[in-house]
Amino acid sequence: MPTTWVDALLNKRRHQGAAPFPHQAAFFLNNPVRRALSKPARIVDDIRLTGSERVLEVGPGPGFYSVEIARRLTYGQLDLFDLQPEMLAKAARQLERAGFHDVGFTAGQAAEGFPFPDNTFDVAFLAAVIGEVPDKHACLRSLSRIVKPGGHLVFAEAFPDPDRMNVQQLRDLAEPEGFEFVDATGNRWRDFVRFRNGEAS
């Protein structure tokens, strides 16, 4: 059991992919330097929310993107789902501080099926998460059940995440589960990939 953030990061390095990013090292996910370099507001703009969606953020960690998402949901609703309750607690503090009090929090394993009814969400957003999920196919299958037909599945993947997945790998995961590729933007440092749940027809 890691005792310090150094221990926790070393453990993650040894178990790349299989281990979640340790909550003890959450500072590395949410700090002014990453904020300045990654510009979370701009990334969340690319999700193209209209403000009335029900959004699921899977693996929000300490809430680097969550506040920006909540800010755009004038009439919508945000749910956060993460394996580590400690990460959800950190995200909750960020959201409370920013004045958002009606966010849903669920702790769980994304590979074991999401505990939400069919066709619940307009958008599911995953940033630097899917590479850490042990059974990615099961996760995508469950997402296709809870994202509404015509709803969107959006991935953000970036350097220096050691579990970063590329556009083709994301397509290979999502398309067999009924998600249609919409578009991908980015560069060698980051990818932003959008799919639509095609079960409408």
Positions touching ligand SAM (CB under 6 A) are 20-21, 29, 59-61, 64, 82-84, 87, 109-111, 127-129, 132-133
* Phi, psi (rounded to 5 degrees) for 6: -65, -50
Match 């959201």 to its residue by tokens: 95
Cβ 160 to ligand SAM shortest distance, Å? 11
Whether the CB-CB separation of 189 and 158 falls below 8 Å is answered with: yes
Which residue pairs, CB below 8 angstroms and at least 24 apart, start in 177-180? 177/137, 177/140, 177/141, 177/143, 177/144, 178/144, 179/140, 179/143, 179/144, 179/153
Cβ 176 to ligand SAM shortest distance, Å? 19
Please identify, using beta-carbon distances, which residue of 59 and 151 lies nearer to ligand SAM. 59
Radius of gyration of the chain (CA): 16
Cβ 139 to ligand SAM shortest distance, Å? 7
Rounded (10°) angle between helices 136-146 and 167-174:
60
Cβ 5 to ligand SAM shortest distance, Å? 14
Cβ 201 to ligand SAM shortest distance, Å? 30
CB proximity list for 135: less than 8 A, separation 6 or greater: 111
Please identify, using beta-carbon distances, which residue of 58 and 73 lies nearer to ligand SAM. 58
Please identify, using beta-carbon distances, which residue of 82 and 191 lies nearer to ligand SAM. 82
Please identify, using beta-carbon distances, which residue of 87 and 146 lies nearer to ligand SAM. 87
Please identify, using beta-carbon distances, which residue of 29 and 78 lies nearer to ligand SAM. 29
